[in-house]
Amino acid sequence: MSFVDPIGDMITRIRNAQMRLLSTVKIPSSKFRVRILEVLKKEGYISDYKLLPDSKNNLSVDLKYNDGLPVIKEIKRVSKPGRRIYARATSIPKIQNGLGLAIVSTSKGIMSDNEARNQNIGGEIICRVF
């Protein structure tokens, strides 16, 4: 099955699973998605993710909750296939005055907005998380 926007599909699956208070969600695997999940894990928005042993093409994402409420209150795709959004290092937006996170695709890889600002690298803003 081919997707028009595979990253948007992943974000929607995570959002829908958290609205249903599910503990895990299955997502089709790709290197780009794994890098995004790595940033989410490092920043504390998900517990863990792993490649499912029974199938090569699926990831299992363990969602994180705090007192029964999802840690991710909002996750939204910014740059879409029809309209790419790029930003310089100095103009990467701060999400909720620095409490949130923007995931940026740079020439040095996928990283959080704080890492991109510290390394003075701009790039495509993939999504924002709060």
CATH assignment at residue 113: 3.30.1490.10
Q: How many whole angstroms separate alpha carbon 113 and alpha carbon 122?
A: 9
What percent of the chain clears pLDDT 90, i.e. is strictly above it?
92
41 and 10 in a common domain: yes
**Structure-token match 């699926």, residue found:** 58
**Structural domain containing residue 36:** 6-70
pTM over 0.85: yes
Closest CA to 78 of 110, 124, 118, 42: 124
45 and 19 in a common domain: yes
1 part of a folded domain: no
117 and 80 in a common domain: yes
What phi-psi label fits residue 35: left (phi over 0), alpha (psi between -120 and 50 degrees) or beta? alpha
pLDDT tens track for 56-94: 789 999 999 999 999 999 999 999 999 999 999 999 999
83 and 60 in a common domain: no
Cβ neighbourhood burial of 111 (10 Å; 0-12, 13-18, 19+): buried
116 and 66 in a common domain: no
Residue 56 has what pLDDT?
A: 76
Looking at the structure of the chain, the number of domains it has is: 2
